Structure 1
Amino acid sequence: MANGGGPFLAAAVIFLGLLLSLWGPRDASVQPLILLPPETVVQEKKVYTLECIVARFYPEPVQIIWKKVIPGTHSVNVDNSEVFNMSSNNDGTFNATSHLILQPLLEDNGTIYQCVVAHKSLLIPLQRSTTLIVKDSLQAKMDGKIQVVSLGGNVIIFCEFSSSDILPLDIRDIEIRWFLRSLNSDKEIKVFELYRGHQTAFRPGAKISMSRRRWGDASLYLSHIQIQERGEYRCEVIQFPRRAQGTIILDVVEHGNYAIFSGLIITVILFVLVGVIWFLHFRKVKPMLFLSLEPEYLIHKELKEFSFAISGF
């Protein structure tokens, strides 16, 4: 009996060893994985939390630090990172998350942050980088991409500005500039400027509404527009050091061409309407009655069914 139980005992020991190797403490180390997006888009002056996830490493002890790299300079360690959270997986490996609190300014745009991990499984620290893209809280919005106006007419080129800051904009600090670049030239010319509450029209008749400016309206008013004034108009709003801008193409159409184009559209519409009316009118034709003319012989008190058809209405 003792000899017969030997193979069974050996198999049990081997099986138990496999279980311990899978679920028990590990002797070998497992290298971590670092999850960090290559780019991070943030809003100026808004509090933002960078998150670096270090996953599936063993054993548990791990060191995570943040570094800030300004393009063209050296990197420095960042001290305002939070203590990371630790968790375990079913296979015995561990995860850790480190947070870095930021409140970026426009000059932080392009700054690189590195998440650096030191672990027993690594000969040298492992790192991943993310580039900070800081969006200006001051925004300028145009009304579309292209605006068509009639030669010699008056035009309003719309431009609205706003800020995502909690505090409202101080209109007294706002500067507004308008520029024109002809379609066949790369050179811009200044059309209008509002500086310290004073309007300067570099193009006669150019102006903005000072009353609507307080509501974020920087639209440009131009009178008697000419052919040579077609091109790309750029609206620039400045609240130092912030700057926002938008562009739109202004196309000036001569009266004759505009009239021909409008007349063509009206002609097509009238043609379609006449066709629809004609169709509805002549569709109402008299109905046709079909009745069998074959003689029918009836028996006294016998039920008989007759049928006829009406068509063509």
Structure 2
Amino acid sequence: MYPGTPSSYPPPPPSPTPTPPSPSPPPAAPALAIGHYYKTCYKAEQIVRDSVRKAVYANRGIGAGLIRLFFHDCFVRGCDASVLLDPTPANAQPEKLGIPNFPSLRGFEVIDAAKAALEEACPGVVSCADIVAFAGRDATFFLSNGRAYFDMPAGRYDGNVSLASETLPNLPPPFATLQTLKDMFASKGLTADEMVTLSGAHSVGVSHCSSFSDRLPPNPSDPSAMDATLAASVQVKCNRTGDPVVVQDFRTPGDLDNQYYKNVLDKKVLFKSDAALRSSETGAQVLLNAWIPGQWEQKFKAAMVRMGSIEVKTRA
């Protein structure tokens, strides 16, 4: 969910003694409903889907960006579209300019296109927060080649507070340990299994080399080190000038599928946070997602809906 992190990302802090997070209630949003706009704007979801379809067919990477946009919106102040807000004289540093988001977060133009079409069809009806959620759902459908379709409940209100300073504490970095990942997802009411499931979105998209440069070259004595063949391949690309990008999944780079979990097992993943899933705590889930046909897609659909319920605003 955090590919493309710029080189200004702070280095990982020293590892403190893990402290179990306080139990968090699961995300609950009783006011959200499937078909929320049926009576007020019955073509709302179709309009968003059409905008996403055009964008993904032109560039599948935008689909990966839309899934990531949904994740980054929900993990900071809940699913309220605060990630879309631009700088203003009163707030020069909104979320979209936070280190995990700028300049790598993509898909804003697709949300803008969908919003413009919706305003023409149903002025003032559909919230931006719901557009982001629908777009994440539709990108999932198209990138999975139709294998992962699901209904996304709606009824979210938009937020008006957006702070870049809140991005780093809430969005998992590419160097996150397993305990850090579990803690950060638990703080949003999501389980370790849902964390492993949502990590499968790393089967699409790209990453800036600066996000995993600390893993090159691989350390032979490190059991979590990157596969040497993959490391040699990406090292060539990363030796170019600037901060090049490489695909997250070298086997099926444009498809949202369970290949990610096979890559984790084979040590063919870029981030430390991906390699951490080979741990004894989560390795069994990785193995099942890798080899049981259709299991990961079913779990991913449910996890996306759960994520879409994080701290939603259901009234203005």
Q: TM-score, normalised by structure 2?
A: 0.20
Query: Relative to total residues, which structure has the larger helix share, 1 or 2?
Result: 2
Larger relative contact order (Cα-Cα within 8 Å, sequence gap ≥ 6): 2
Q: TM-score, normalised by structure 1?
A: 0.20
Larger radius of gyration: 1
